[in-house]
Structure 1
């Protein structure tokens, strides 16, 4: 009986850590993956390095997007390094 009572604080600490740290981080990761999955041409993005640009091309097979950071200046960016989508374009009516 005394062994179980000594485990209760450890279980409580783990539960608090789960609800305060692990669960919110998993939720944020899912939201980020959904944002990356919804990327399309014309979206204005910010990379984790602070570069602001407009998505020119989304490569389906790879994890890259082509971003225009100035007139005529295009760079390839790994999707996972995109921090936020500032302006979302509306999907084309088909």
Structure 2
């Protein structure tokens, strides 16, 4: 019985860390992957660095966006927001 009470606080700490840090991070990663998979040519987007553009081409892990300055190739994970959906939701 004494051994269980020694590991109780450690177990409790692990449970708290899991629910406050690990689980929300996994949920966020799942949402980001789902968002990236739903992108399509013609979507107006904003990258994480603040560049506005429209998707011109899609590849498995990269995307070509058309901006006022020309075309840029970047990773799908660099896209933070899809504007068409945001406008429709309001």
TM over 0.5: yes
Say whether 1:82 aligns with 2:86: no
Whole-angstrom distance in 1 between the partners of 2:17 and 2:82: 30
For the residues of structure 2 that align with 1:81 and 1:26, how far apart are their CA atoms?
18
User: What's the TM-score once normalised by structure 1's chain length?
Assistant: 0.82
Query: Size of the alignment, in residue pairs?
Result: 85
In structure 2, runs of 5+ residues without a counterpart are 86-90
- Alignment partners' CA distance in 1, 2:2 and 2:74: 57
Which segments of 5 or more consecutive residues in structure 1 lack a partner in the other structure?
89-94
Following the alignment from structure 1 to structure 2, what is the Cα–Cα distance between the partners of residues 52 and 33? Answer: 20
**TM, length-normalised to structure 2:** 0.85
Which contiguous aligned blocks of 4+ residues in structure 1 show a shift greater than 3 angstroms? Answer: none
Aligned to 1:33: 33
**Higher-helix-fraction structure:** 2
Root-mean-square deviation over aligned CA pairs = 1.3
Q: Secondary structure at the match of 1:83?
A: strand
